[in-house]
Amino acid sequence: MAVGLNAPEALQPVPGIRVAAVAAGIRYPGRDDLVLIDAGPDATVAALYTNNAFRAAPVVVAAEHQAAGGARWLLINAGNANAGTGEPGLAAARACCEALAAVTGDPAEAVLPFSTGVIGEPLPVERIIAALPVLHAGLAPNAWMQAGRAIMTTDTVLKGVSRRVALSQGEVTLTGIAKGSGMIHPDMATMLAFIGTDLAIEARALDGLLREANRDSFNAITVDGDTSTNDAVVVMASGASGAGLVTADDRVAFAAALDAVCLELAQAIVRDGEGATKFVTVEVVGARSREEAAQVAETVALSPLVKTALFASDPNWGRILAAVGRAGVPDLVIERVAIRVNDVEIVRDGGRAPEYAEADGQRAFDAEEIHIRIDLGRGDARTRKYTCDFSHEYVRINAEYRS
């Protein structure tokens, strides 16, 4: 079973994991903006963090604490990124962890902090610390939807998904939430995402599964080409089901479920891209390597000219052609390149397909779901990237973000 943007109320509790959200007054008056997740005393945790050189203070502290082992608690605030804040920011993140440790009785290293919001502003530590006792007291297994709403910033919809998968030792559940709408570009992961499961698994094996799932999901999306300072994706396994990956089929089944959860959350971020009106898949086939395919797909997906043409439903396919040509593919034989938009073949043998008609192109570009398929005609490698259009609304949202 999978649920997403259309049915977030169907998010399933994960045995062994509890969640809570409260209003701490961090930036958004009158709404929840602080989340606590308890992965359980026997939890294993895997996480990936942004590669941005200006890693936010909570990312630095979370990575340190995770490396120390024994992570159990996730503390997440919205409205303030605690990024670009130097040593005071690090001290603030650690103070929040220490305050939560005093409430839970666990070491501060058991807490992984995460933040999202405006960069460069001091974290209101006192407000967060004051809210912790109520937050901890409110932990419950069925608060995933409230948590998903609490971590939103410019998001317009809650992003959540649940799946159940049968293994040889029993059924396990996966539930995940994510936030992200702008400042989205693949470089490890580009948003915040938190996924819980009751699988029994060692941290090293969980880390391997997350890295595999991340490659074709969170690391395959772009809205605007900007990688955030705060990005992270975390998978928590409580072990409460007692079911592990004891057979090869178990691993395949669970990996497929985790892949699906990550992909649905990642695509939900693109669909909710700031001001987005169209969901776009850029598929490149016929490349010599996966890296080459990704290079071309990313160049097309990032092109402002392509993205603005898509917003206008303008079948100006020359912009796609030009993006492929400037992607830096060595020795590209343009006569072998073919480009299709949805069911309309536009480019063949390096030029406009003889049967192409403007009316067909218009029909393809008018669609809300657009699939751009580029065949380089030089190998067997392929990949996909997911993006959206650029609209007037994107400019307005980002121009007014701090207002």
DSSP codes, 142-159:
T-HHHHHHHT-SS-SS-E
Structure tokens at 147: 């948590």
Do residues 218 and 266 make contact, with C-beta atoms less than 8 angstroms apart?
yes
Amino acid at 298: E
HSE-up of residue 352 (Cα within 13 Å, Cβ side): 12
| Tokens standing for residue 331 | 């020795």
Return phi, psi of residue 23, to 5°: -95, 115
- Catalytic residue of the set 190, 227, 281, 383: 190
Specify the DSSP element, H or E, that contains 263: helix 248-271
Pairing of strands 192-197, 232-237: parallel
Alpha-carbon distances of 263 from 34, 200, 259, 385, 399, rounded to whole Å:
25, 22, 6, 11, 29
Of 287, 309, 315, give the one whose Cα is nearest residue 384. 287
Q: What end-to-end distance do the CA atoms of the chain give, in Å?
A: 41
Listed residue (207, 211, 192) closest to 75, CA to CA = 192
CB 24 within 8 A of CB 130: yes
Determine the residue type at 294: A
- Long-range pairs, 85-89, Cβ under 8 A, ≥24: 85/56, 85/57, 85/120, 85/121, 85/122, 85/123, 88/122, 89/56, 89/57, 89/122, 89/123
Distance CA 218, CA 262 (A): 7
Catalytic site includes residue 190:
yes
Q: Which residues are catalytic?
A: 190
